[in-house]
Amino acid sequence: MNRVLIAEDEPRIASFLTKGLRAAGYTATVVDNGVAAAAYARADDFDLLILDLGLPGQDGLAALAQLRARGERLPVIVLTARDAVPDRVAGLDLGADDYLTKPFSFDELLARVRARLRDRGRDTPTALHAGPVTLDLVRRTVSVDGRLVELTAREFLLAEILLRHPGQVLSREQLLDRVWGLAHDPGSNIVDVYIGYLRRKLGQDLIHTVRGVGYRLTTPSEPETSTEGSPPPVTADPDPSWLGR
């Protein structure tokens, strides 16, 4: 599932974009200022950024310049009320992949999102690997030492996030936000439960616990020093449908 970061400080527009993108099958995350936009685009593995220019904290053009200066290749669609030619030129020159002005047609925006993701797909891997584990991102299948393993949709997404960030510590809050989105309960231990499921299915030594912080994917040569054996009972689940898994 493609992940879209929306940098928009107008709540009504942000809500409209979020609902529309989710209805089209995308995962959407909203930030309301330019500083957060640049930080989120660096910290998380998003597939596309929809960027307003008139953002508080840091202008959208400054955030875009910061992204490109870091070498980030994340596709960026500028969505803004600034329709003057100099603004369009500045946005495209700074590295925007597309530029759309408000008011806009959501169908047109969606078509541009699809086009940019197609372009990105030509340069991105179709599979992720970690030791004996392979995630096929096209077929949405998982194998361990060549043997197919069945994962639920949320288990697959959690595994994908970990495999996209090998060696990086991901907090429980980050994983809650990425896998369960707005439905998550910050007090839930559902992340720990699902980490337990992945360890049982993919291997106990694959995911390392960083106590008090979160989890990270181990490299094949790195031993796991702190694991959680059986998944603990769930204390609070924001999405009870997983009980029928």
pLDDT in tens, the chain (245 residues): 688 999 999 999 999 999 999 888 898 999 999 999 998 887 657 899 999 999 999 999 999 998 888 878 889 999 999 999 999 999 999 999 999 999 888 999 999 999 888 876 555 567 888 989 998 876 788 999 999 999 988 898 889 889 888 888 888 888 887 777 645 566 778 999 999 999 999 999 899 999 888 999 986 555 444 444 444 554 444 443 333 33
Set out the domains of the chain in order of their start, with CATH numbers: 3-121 (3.40.50.2300), 127-244 (1.10.10.10)
**Sheet bearing 147-149, strands edge to edge:** 127-130, 133-136, 141-144, 147-149
pLDDT digits (tens, 9 = 90+) for 109-148: 999 999 888 876 555 567 888 989 998 876 788 999 999 9
Bridge partners (DSSP) of residue 66 are none
Amino acid at 223: P
Bridge-based pairing of strands 207-210 and 141-144 is unpaired
pTM above 0.85, yes or no: no
Measured in whole angstroms, how far is the alpha carbon of residue 224 from the centre of its chain?
25
For residue 234, the model assigns a pLDDT of 46
- Cα–Cα dist 127/195, whole Å: 21
